[in-house]
Amino acid sequence: MSLPEVHLVAGTVGEALRLAPVALAMREQGRLAAVPVATGADPDAVGQVLTAFGITPRITLPSGDGHTETMRRFDDLWAVRTPAAVIVRDGLAPALAAFWRRVPLLTVDAGRRSGDFGSASVLESQRRLLAQVTTVHLAATPLAAMNLLDERVIAGDTLLTGGTAQDAAQLFATRTLAAPSRGRRTIVLGMPAERADAIGPALRYLGGHYPDLEVVRAADFAPGLELATLLAQAYLVVTDDEDLVEEALAACCPVLMIGFAARHAEALHAGSARLVEPDPAAISSEAADLLEHRVRRDAMALGGNPYGDGLAAYRVAQATAALLGHGQFPDPMPAQPTAGVAR
């Protein structure tokens, strides 16, 4: 008997990185047939990330101009090949297409919000709509789950699984640890080119004091294994990219975050990330402090990753199977111990 087919829809490299461990977990559990779907503006890049995990996208469906055209393409696909369930991260168009066809929808990393309640920003609006059509919400953190409850999502439809970026980092670990060392202390800039051009020179100026310092841009490295290796070897990441924050923390690399306190309150609380002003002088001052005092940098790294425990993909796979009548829903991710607090 063939297994129920679950389509995992990845529209960006970040989504592919987070859904690949789920596909592998489904394969290992043997209760569902995971079908990775590469979509978005650059499905080849998505496929490249999936390939790094040994997964070949079974379906490639480039997105159209706007949500509705993309929705129509997914509707056409699912009219002839209807999955038992669909898993997305931020993909509103496939989510709406699944809802239209009454296909159960699961959302990983559900409940991420900017903290600006009622914000009308495009991304926030999309995420709120996505929550409204989702069948099971798989949240990475308790705060994300609380955000969903604030939007009247039923508590029983929400499961705290953790984020799968940690799982991805662990799957890469054998290869990233075996990679040749860069031999220098590397600061990774994860930000658009114009901002990197403003901040990069200030950090490179620190090279006068620290000859072993190198400053690189994350965008110059191929997504997938190459970027994961860079993050695993990096001394520090400076970024305004919320996905890169999680990926860096999953690789045990501390982060200086520019801007968005509310989006990564958990990392700030854990101590593994710090908030900095978007000012080259302020950023280079913070970086110099961490370069000068290695113990401070290592103390940040020991704060850990509050977004996952490395078992999220198994929980997501198990929850999907349970939704489709195979077994029971998993226990939620246990609370993580707080550094320095006896339990």
- Residues making contact with other proteins (CB under 8 A): 66-69, 71-72, 75, 79, 96, 99-100, 117-118, 120, 125, 128-129, 132-133, 150-152
The pair of three-digit structure tokens given for residue 203, joined into one six-digit string: 């950090």
Closer residue to other proteins (CB): 149 or 281: 149
The CA distance from 141 to 119, in Å, is 21
69 vs 220 by CB, closer to other proteins: 69
Nearer to other proteins, 105 or 108 (CB): 105
Q: Hey, which residues does 231 pair with through a beta bridge? A: none
Q: Give the up-direction half-sphere exposure of residue 131: CA atoms within 13 A in the CB hemisphere.
A: 26
Name beta bridge partners: 321: none
- Shortest Å distance, C-beta 243 to other proteins: 23
The answer to whether residues 63 and 40 touch, using CB atoms and an 8 Å cutoff, is yes
Strands of the chain (E only): list them.
5-10, 33-38, 59-60, 85-88, 105-110, 136-139, 158-160, 185-190, 213-217, 236-239, 255-258, 273-276
In whole angstroms, how close is the CB of 103 to other proteins at the nearest point? 13
Closest to other proteins by CB, 72 vs 204, is 72
Least distance (Å) between residue 111 CB and other proteins? 12
Measured CA to CA, the distance from residue 53 to residue 296 in angstroms comes to 34
For other proteins, give the closer residue by CB, 53 or 99. Answer: 99
Minimum distance of other proteins from residue 148's CB (angstroms): 11
Cβ proximity to other proteins: between 118 and 325 the closer is 118
- Nearest-approach distance from CB 142 to other proteins, in angstroms: 20
Longest dimension (CA), the chain: 66
Least distance between other proteins and beta carbon 3 (Å):
28
